């Protein structure tokens, strides 16, 4: 198969982890006979430094004309503590999601047999967790207007807004995923307080009869925040709005034992985007110590969700599991054993694929 992949390494550890995923993708291409070409673009703080724009048109062109995008991380501390900054790296990510029409962010949480003891939660609660969030990604308070300050600058406001259409297209993806899994869908909202949440709940209730094989549960977001770490095995597919999904998916990632491990896929249009859920981890940038496995597993999702190549995806997750089992891992999960460099882990994974 011919595959055109846009690479957006971004900021901080992004370039290092993406480089390892590229090694893995190339090894898969070689093994399975795919012609894979890469084009690289700037996004985030590095794009602001180079062009003044966190998502330059040139980068959008590269993404829009590819089959899939592999993205690293975004963010730089020099902007985090400057609330008055006019341009921010994160705006690049948000514009990219919006311009590419990536309205659904699929964030799985699962455990790795050889790592499950690293979870800060009790083993019997987390062993075998397998849940997936479908987070709405291009609506809600992230994009709603009006937003800003009053003239004196003493009041600030954001707007949370959802149309029925936005809810339906996200919810349908959740229902369809549930049908292929354990057939349980949880709609996460704050319908006891928010009008947008009541529209979510009403809309999902209307759709439910079309999916009679799926059991639907409705839960308030604060209760989910609690139950998710208490009884994570109670969940299968969760659908939720943008902000709730942002918060809960960070929470869920701890279940697996390290945030560096979890991949994600952003879907909704012809071009799909794949990225680890961790941030740019600026303290580790350039040190060759960051865990590349979340990005490597995002590359596995790229083969699966992006191209329907399940065998290729499975081989990637198999070699990742092997690296965990054999302790060929970076320092964050080395657990007192030998820690390998980011680049060494990438080389090892690629070699195992070709072995
Ligand atoms: C995420 C991140 C982004 C978000 C930030 C970097 C804008 O936290 O992908 O979850 O809030 O969506
Ligand atoms: Mg987040």
Q: Ligand 1, atom 10: nearest CA belongs to which residue? A: 246
pLDDT one-digit tens code per residue, 133-168:
999 999 999 999 999 999 999 999 999 999 999 999
Is the pLDDT at 260 greater than 90, yes or no? Answer: no
Quickly list H helices, the chain: 14-32, 45-51, 57-64, 77-80, 89-100, 123-126, 164-180, 195-207, 221-230, 242-253, 293-301, 307, 310-325, 342-354
- Residue 290 Cα to ligand 1 middle (Å): 19
- Residue 98 Cα to ligand 1 middle (Å): 13
> What is the value of pTM for the model shown?
0.94
Sign of CA dihedral 114, 119, 121, 127: negative
* Separation between Cα atoms, residue 13 and residue 217, nearest integer Å: 38
Q: What is the mean pLDDT of residues 288-298?
A: 97
pLDDT band, very low/low/confident/very high, at 246 (cuts 50, 70, 90): very high
HSE (CB half, 13 Å, CA atoms) of 120?
A: 7
Can you tell me which atom of ligand 1 is nearest the CA of 264? 9
pLDDT one-digit tens code per residue, 46-82:
999 999 999 999 999 999 999 999 999 999 999 888 8
Of 107-111, 219-223, 237-241, the poorest mean pLDDT is in 107-111
Can you tell me which atom of ligand 1 is nearest the CA of 105? 9
Q: What pLDDT score was predicted for residue 213?
A: 98
Sign of CA dihedral 34, 10, 149, 155: positive
Count of CB atoms situated within 10 Å of the CB of 337: 11
* Separation between Cα atoms, residue 183 and residue 201, nearest integer Å: 18
* Separation between Cα atoms, residue 280 and residue 73, nearest integer Å: 5
DSSP string, 97-109: HHHHT--EEEEEE
Output the CA–CA distances (angstroms, integers) from residue 175 to 44, 90, 206, 209, 221, in the order listed.
33, 30, 12, 11, 19
pLDDT one-digit tens code per residue, 6-44:
999 999 999 999 999 999 999 999 999 999 999 999 999
Can you tell me which atom of ligand 1 is nearest the CA of 245? 10
Mutational pocket test of ligand 1: of 246, 252, 273, 277, the residue with most ligand atoms within 8 Å of the beta carbon: 246
Is the pLDDT at 114 greater than 90, yes or no? Answer: no
HSE (CB half, 13 Å, CA atoms) of 127?
A: 6
SS3 at position 148 = strand
């Amino acid at each position: 198969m011919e595959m055109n992949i846009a690479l957006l390494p971004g900021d901080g550890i992004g370039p290092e982890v993406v480089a390892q995923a590229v090694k893995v993708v190339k090894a898969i291409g070689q093994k399975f006979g795919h012609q894979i070409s890469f084009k690289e673009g700037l996004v985030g703080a590095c794009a602001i430094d180079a062009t003044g724009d966190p998502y330059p048109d040139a980068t959008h062109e590269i993404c829009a004309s590819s089959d899939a995008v592999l993205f690293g991380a975004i963010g730089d501390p020099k902007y985090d503590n400057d609330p008055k900054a006019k341009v921010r790296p994160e705006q690049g990510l948000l514009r990219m999601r919006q311009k590419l029409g990536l309205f659904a962010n699929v964030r799985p949480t699962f455990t790795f047999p050889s790592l499950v003891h690293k979870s800060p939660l009790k083993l019997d609660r987390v062993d075998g967790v397998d849940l997936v969030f479908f987070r709405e990604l291009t609506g809600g308070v992230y994009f709603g207007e009006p937003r800003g300050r009053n003239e004196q600058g003493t009041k600030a406001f954001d707007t949370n807004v959802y149309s029925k259409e936005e809810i339906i297209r996200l919810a349908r993806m959740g229902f369809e995923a549930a049908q292929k899994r354990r057939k349980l869908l949880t709609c996460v909202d704050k319908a006891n307080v928010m009008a947008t949440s009541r529209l979510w709940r009403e809309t999902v209730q209307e759709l439910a009869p079309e999916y009679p094989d799926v059991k639907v549960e409705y839960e308030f977001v604060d209760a989910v925040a609690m139950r998710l770490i208490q009884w994570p095995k109670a969940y299968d597919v969760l659908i939720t709005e943008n902000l709730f999904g942002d918060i809960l998916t960070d929470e869920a990632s701890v279940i697996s034992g390290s945030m560096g491990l979890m991949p994600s896929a952003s879907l909704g249009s012809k071009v799909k985007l794949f990225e680890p859920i961790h941030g740019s981890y600026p303290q580790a940038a350039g040190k060759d110590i960051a865990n590349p496995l979340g990005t490597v597993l995002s590359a596995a999702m790229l083969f699966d969700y992006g191209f329907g190549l399940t065998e290729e995806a499975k081989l990637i997750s198999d070699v990742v599991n092997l690296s965990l089992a054999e302790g060929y891992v970076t320092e964050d999960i080395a657990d007192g054993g030998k820690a390998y460099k980011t680049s060494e882990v990438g080389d090892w994974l690629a070699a195992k694929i070709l072995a």
